[in-house]
Chain A
């Protein structure tokens, strides 16, 4: 897989010093929640990139920003979000509302966590498909749209009668698969998933992950997803970015992240996981994650880090490039 990636390493989505903060006013006092704080990402064509981190680390906000859905109280303070559309790089934050709308579903689509609220409960799935597709594809009649939907549903191995029911008649796993089918129906180049398998049972989760990987292989597009389950990352991702307190702190190929994690936070995440056949004592990450509105100075992980030094308290480290794919932001690197 590494070889094929090297050949087709075309950047499809790129961010530059992205800062997206929630600016709130509570009783006249301004409160700034630094949810996405200086994030540089390069995501390639034909890969599955996944972002890991604790709840409240800003990973969902990062996805919102990547989806170019920045609405108050979330504000873009600095930086660019660039998509590569028809071999041309476009800074999408400058597009008009209508242009943004056109990109959605056709170029970039979103898979949310709880699919319960995706579909209108009082209309049938078929009409929901017609609504979504109809707003993007002009001059198609209902029959054609229905045919398109039916073909995709069958390709993905779902029973064809799912179009003819109301959302509550589907089980959670089936509803999530129908949502994914809907998100992929216009063959988008990028699909963004926010914990797409989290609320599901393990066997169903496995089915949904299979389906996401099948879609990605057929369309040769890019999936960017967020989940807190390291087991899901290990099974689906080509590359993983570890996020802590609004920043990416380590990024590498899946194999490297699991085999040679460098950042102390990543090491905790990997080593705290219980494994079958090994009952030895495992510790969780000490302490609790910082509030994004009141970040500690320097490296935000320093209050929980067992290897903390003076410089960690004062300055945020820059990225060190360990090899072509592996970068990490930690003062420990390059020391020994």
Chain B
């Protein structure tokens, strides 16, 4: 099977505290996943689960403590920096901080075209940029010479997607691209991702906490919790029939837009985040309704059932 991006045993540790009381927090703990060509792969989880750190590692913004990344089957070396910058592009959460308020938006596009020598003349460059803007429903005339404050949040987010498309990337890394966009305009961004995948064959690593849009748009999903991927598989399997107790809790906690489906049960919340990071064994053991003795001491391994990977002791028996 062809893999556009393959991540193996990726780990990132941060030191926290001062010299006397230093603790190390494992933000990303032994994470492995891959992204196929022309697919939308979602990394979902709550804040502090390590999904943004994973994105930074994949983009090369941060150096991993351990683990390897393969692009198109090759290990990443400095020589392959071009692949990384041209083939992988990023879209960030807040479109207003993506662009410098004192620079016109089109200058970013021209700069990218120049840096990668994508056009021979100014006219070529404009044609190239216009083509990318049309993909997101805008035209060059709409935006030339304008500053970021002249656009709405939804428009600006579409512009930043067009900007990412300028280099004709194979993989887009979208870190919470819709969380700052109004709910009524959210679907326009998500539908755009679907079109990019289907028409241009672009793969998207979609990082989000919004499981409803994740279900709507993606092919496969990984649920992260405190640095670990606890469950991974196709969205139908993982979200319609979650196996890991944390995935179940997360899935049930999404407020459903249906007054007949109100929550019947109550949740207990974690009191201290740090405690969960430092926990031995399964990180969810402190809140898990099905906790067993083994969970508190032994880290569960990935168990493969029905094409889904689950990191939970509950399923160890089934495997045998």
Contact = CB atoms under 8 A, between A and B. Distances in A.
A268 interface: yes
A283 interface: yes
B169 to A, nearest CB: 25
B82 to A, nearest CB: 36
Interface string A209-249: 11000000000000000001111111100000000000000
B239 to A, nearest CB: 6
Interface residues of B, number: 43
B257 interface: yes
Interface string A266-306: 00111011111101011111001100000000000000000
B257 A276 contact: no
Contact of B240 (A159, A230, A272, A277): A277
A217 to B, nearest CB: 13
Given A234-B257, A274-B212, A203 B183 contact: no
Q: Is the interface of B mostly helix, strand, loop or mixed?
A: helix
A284 B215 contact: no
Nearest to B190: A274
B106 to A, nearest CB: 20
B269 A204 contact: yes
A231 B254 CA distance: 8
A273 B212 contact: yes
Contacts of B185: 54, 284-285, 288
A159 B255 contact: no
Given A159-B271, A272-B184, A276-B239, A258 B259 contact: yes
Interface stretch (B88-96, B260-268, B310-318): B260-268
Contact of A210 (B182, B188, B191, B266): B266
Given A201-B47, A228-B183, A281-B191, A276 B212 contact: yes
A274 B215 contact: yes
Contact of B263 (A171, A206, A284, A288): A206
Interface in B136-186: 152-155, 182-186
A235 B254 CA distance: 10
Contact of B250 (A202, A273, A277): A202
B253 interface: yes
A202 B262 contact: no
A207 B269 contact: yes
Chain A interface size band reads 35 or more
Given A173-B269, A235-B263, A275-B212, A284 B184 contact: yes
A254 interface: yes
B180 to A, nearest CB: 10
A213 to B, nearest CB: 10
21 contacts: A54-B184, A171-B273, A202-B254, A206-B263, A210-B266, A229-B255, A231-B212, A234-B256, A234-B259, A235-B255, A254-B259, A255-B260, A269-B184, A272-B184, A272-B186, A273-B257, A276-B215, A276-B240, A276-B251, A284-B185, A289-B182
Interface of B: 46-47, 152-155, 182-188, 190-191, 209, 211-213, 215-216, 239-240, 249-251, 253-263, 266-267, 269, 271-273
